[in-house]
Structure 1
């Protein structure tokens, strides 16, 4: 148990270390990936912004060459007012240019900075009559150069980028044409979810950002003189230019790629990864930022994958170790079993030899038993023949006496030449000889030794009954017994050897003859009937019947009610019947007397 706890602690420690290493490597890889992605997105945004601004940078110079602007500027320079129609025509032209170029406003200024005409002259915040001489873009164009400048509108307070160009009459500058562009174009080209961007001027003042809370704040702590100068120029309106960080220069921010920047309440602050791109044409700085928390899902995913793989690995190792231990235990068990099996095999071999010897003895005993049973059956038949010897002698002596009488008579008739009568006598002698030969043949067949086996030929019931009755005919007649044999409606074959079946019938008839000796009108009957696929044969008598004790013991060997009997007849008969899958039962008849019923399977017609 203690060892198992140690293993568990080691597994947990290795898992924690592995998870930590996985998290560290994942953090480094994801951070590098996000930095590269951020740098690519910032570069793409810078390129798009430059492309959008480049569309407008040359427009003021091209539009300033339009001669339709000169009359209004000349009149302002000379102090002569133009007709209202000319004034409206120039305003319409500026409006048309602004609509086609999608500029927020296009306006024309005199050399003193006063706006003479504007594309928004009909709006409430029209530039007409406003003086923007303090704007740097106006000063640059007045001096003959192209001007560009970002600032909030002095009246509209809308962010815009101003492009200006001098309007010349010959070689002399007589006015300034300015195009104001709405910097919402940055929002149109920025399509990077989860990434923040910041656009600042060369001083670090944020004038465009995806996070509105950062607008008109400075990325660094501005020097007081620069801060006051920007506030006085009203470039960003009435703002305090609060710093977001305490870095002294923009280079310091670039040197530190991770920054903690404040967010609007209740968010507090958040740590960002930063990427910088300088827009040299405009003097701006574009920063892309991605929350460091964006790495957390990747870390969790990596740690969960490591945990899953580590768990599976632990399960696999545990399973392998359990299998290895089980195999070792099984190997030890097998070796032990092999030794035990070797010992037991020797014992089994000895036991098998003894068992084989016992089986041989058993087989010899079975053969001896079969032989004994066969001899016992034969002895029972011979005993039956002994009991029938008197009637058999009578059956044979009668035809022999008649034959002698016919022979002596025929000798006398021959002397008298009564040949016809002699022929009649000879025919009678022949018939008596055949009858005697039949009796002897039946005795010979009945006395033949038979084998007790269920694999025997089938027997015709009617023929077997008549053969058995013929052997007992003299006893039946001498006792004055009435024999009733109910004829069978159709020939029936049963599965038993004929000799053995006749032996059973003779035994039952002999017992019936013994039972009716004291009856006034002795009767013995034989009847048969079908019971589904079986045949029932019953031998009955009208004797005294059987007592209950006799019914319980009548089929037991050596049980007899005769003074001179062996008590084997019914036991052997039942044995013969059972050997052929039959049944032998005894019962008392309601009319008086006993009945013995034989039940045998019926053989199909045509069987031998």
Structure 2
């Protein structure tokens, strides 16, 4: 009786321990699967976000090409249509994108990279697409949809074509999202990507495509079908949930089409960014059973063999010791991983601090470089400084010597006249020194960016006047209005204009009748300052690199002057461009925001 009870107890203990091992193994495998899919979903999100970010700014850059604007101005020109189709085709090939196409402001496609393909976008109107409507509002457009013409899934990036202050068209780039397949090739579990309504537009399983994670209302389904975003899909729900927020909070759920048995899966999801997409990763819980079965069989075999060798009491003691050891190891792993996480957080904080220090040093170096450029320019103007000061000094000496002689003759009225002349000459020298002192001082970074255009141009011309007179250069200055205010710092704007004048004086050194001009054009929201010369001009190759750091055509110089000038202008929201002057020579154009009384500088 006792033996039978003992055996029953051993068997009961064995069954109990087997169930515990199976449960523990299942829990461990489930946690491991959850950790793996969380990591892999995060990796997919990072790679896909980076891939989409690579394309997001391309329409912004390409939309500034003047060739696109010319076609929008003359949309019926066969030559411009042919040239623009070829241009878009070349761009599309270089970008390795799906399609690149240009629409007018009514949504009609005028030119496309696939103009010669059977499924050409040319002639199709896409004014109902949200990416077109976003671009017409002056915004960057982003949208995912199933192509109406190509029947291919794709993500669309768009940007308006600005002709002056008017939007005349929209440039759109379509990216084939088959890149997700290449990113996902090495993953071990199923995935899907859903839009903000929960509609699946990309999945590792074809039957999930264009279905909904949650239960959609009839109006929602009608709106989706009317947008033609996913064709005529049935939009069946893959889960029993009515709200996406409930799905996002789940660690496990039952997934599948309504007409099939839904399987229980572990789930992890993450937001994909500004597009509003979410990436979901799934592993069926049934994948854990082979591991659990193997673990249970191993334990049962081990337990059976142990029972045959040892007594039930020894078996129980060893089992307890083993479980205690497993718990200790688990606690050690948890402690080790916690310490590793704390160390990683410390390193991250140190990296952030190092990055902030580097940014601060970079800004300081940039300001010092601008100051060094100003001082270098003063060095180039030193000859004219010397000439401007020597003239009044020579006159002062003559008046002084004359006054001494008049004092001996007691002609005090004449001496008084000489002293008045000396006082005016001293004021002239002080004014010359003050101009160069103001120009050489460091910029107050906390000052308001509000500059008088009259003062900046007048000061620049005064600083350059002596040098231009010495070289026989004629100056032409045209300003249609007085009292113009622009969004810039006066000293830095003066530095830019003076640098352009100095470059112009060097360009006309070998010109028979050298001439340099400054012309101001005013518009409602901006002011353009044109600095031109009648020198030999600049070739097209030099124009492409003239604003690049360390690029120079001079025998002496670092090639940083124009780079610094453009950087200064762009910091105030303006632009600096080079072109050919109509009468020959080069022309630099500074464009800045115009300010009125009461306007706040940017």
Instruction: State the TM-score, normalizing by the size of structure 1.
Output: 0.50
Q: Flag the structure with larger Rg.
A: 1
User: What residue number does 2:285 align with?
Assistant: 292
Partner deviation per Cα, 1:520-559 (whole Å, 9 max, x = no partner): xxxxxxxxxxxxxxxxxxxxxxxxxxxxxxxxxxxxxxxx
Partner deviation per Cα, 1:345-399 (whole Å, 9 max, x = no partner): xxxxxxxxxxxxxxxxxxxxxxxxxxxxxxxxxxxxxxxxxxxxxxxxxxxxxxx
Partner deviation per Cα, 1:389-444 (whole Å, 9 max, x = no partner): xxxxxxxxxxxxxxxxxxxxxxxxxxxxxxxxxxxxxxxxxxxxxxxxxxxxxxxx
Aligned mates of 2:12, 2:188 — CA distance in 1: 36
- The aligned runs of 1:24-63 (5 Å cut-off) are 24-63=23-62
User: What residue number does 2:80 align with?
Assistant: 86
Aligned mates of 1:319, 1:189 — CA distance in 2: 54
The equivalent position to 1:301 in structure 2, one of 278, 290, 294, is 294
Aligned mates of 2:227, 2:16 — CA distance in 1: 59
1:6: how far off? 3.4
Aligned mates of 1:305, 1:45 — CA distance in 2: 36
1:210 aligns with 2:210: no
CA gap 1:297/1:128 in 2 versus in 1, 3 angstroms: same
The equivalent position to 2:194 in structure 1, one of 197, 200, 222, is 200
- The aligned runs of 1:410-421 (5 Å cut-off) are none
User: What SS is found at the alignment partner of 1:61?
Assistant: helix
User: What residue number does 1:310 align with?
Assistant: 303
Aligned mates of 1:235, 1:247 — CA distance in 2: 23
CA gap 1:320/1:249 in 2 versus in 1, 3 angstroms: closer
User: What SS is found at the alignment partner of 1:222?
Assistant: coil
User: What residue number does 1:231 align with?
Assistant: 225
Contact 1:133–1:139 (CA<8 Å) still a contact in 2?
yes
Q: Which runs of 4+ in 1 moved over 4 A?
A: 318-321
Contact 1:200–1:207 (CA<8 Å) still a contact in 2?
yes
The equivalent position to 1:274 in structure 2, one of 267, 271, 286, is 267
Q: Which runs of 5+ in 1 are unaligned?
A: 322-608
- The aligned runs of 1:441-520 (5 Å cut-off) are none
Aligned mates of 1:97, 1:186 — CA distance in 2: 22
Partner deviation per Cα, 1:123-145 (whole Å, 9 max, x = no partner): 11100000001000000011111
Aligned mates of 2:168, 2:14 — CA distance in 1: 80
1:4: how far off? 4.2
Contact 1:213–1:264 (CA<8 Å) still a contact in 2?
no
Instruction: State the TM-score, normalizing by the size of structure 2.
Output: 0.50
1:171: how far off? 1.4
Aligned mates of 1:62, 1:10 — CA distance in 2: 78
User: What residue number does 1:130 align with?
Assistant: 124
User: What residue number does 2:68 align with?
Assistant: 69
Aligned mates of 1:125, 1:13 — CA distance in 2: 72
Partner deviation per Cα, 1:499-525 (whole Å, 9 max, x = no partner): xxxxxxxxxxxxxxxxxxxxxxxxxxx
User: What residue number does 1:183 align with?
Assistant: 177
- Report how many aligned residue pairs link the two structures: 314
The equivalent position to 1:163 in structure 2, one of 157, 165, 168, is 157
Partner deviation per Cα, 1:23-57 (whole Å, 9 max, x = no partner): 11111111111111111110000001001000100
1:245: how far off? 1.7
Aligned mates of 1:201, 1:320 — CA distance in 2: 60
CA gap 1:225/1:137 in 2 versus in 1, 3 angstroms: same
Aligned mates of 1:109, 1:86 — CA distance in 2: 14
Contact 2:238–2:258 (CA<8 Å) still a contact in 1?
no
Aligned mates of 2:137, 2:210 — CA distance in 1: 29
Contact 2:236–2:257 (CA<8 Å) still a contact in 1?
no
CA gap 1:320/1:16 in 2 versus in 1, 3 angstroms: closer
Q: Which runs of 5+ in 2 are unaligned?
A: 315-602
Indicate the RMSD between aligned Cα atoms, in angstroms.
1.9
Aligned mates of 2:92, 2:10 — CA distance in 1: 73
CA gap 1:319/1:58 in 2 versus in 1, 3 angstroms: closer
CA gap 1:131/1:12 in 2 versus in 1, 3 angstroms: same
Aligned mates of 1:192, 1:258 — CA distance in 2: 23
Contact 1:152–1:159 (CA<8 Å) still a contact in 2?
yes
Aligned mates of 2:99, 2:60 — CA distance in 1: 16
Aligned mates of 2:201, 2:71 — CA distance in 1: 35
User: What SS is found at the alignment partner of 2:105?
Assistant: coil
Contact 2:196–2:277 (CA<8 Å) still a contact in 1?
yes
1:264: how far off? 10
Contact 1:195–1:289 (CA<8 Å) still a contact in 2?
yes
User: What residue number does 2:105 align with?
Assistant: 111
Aligned mates of 1:286, 1:108 — CA distance in 2: 31
Aligned mates of 1:320, 1:99 — CA distance in 2: 76
User: What SS is found at the alignment partner of 2:74?
Assistant: helix
Partner deviation per Cα, 1:66-123 (whole Å, 9 max, x = no partner): 11111110113xxxx21x2321111111011111111100000001110000000111
Aligned mates of 1:306, 1:240 — CA distance in 2: 49
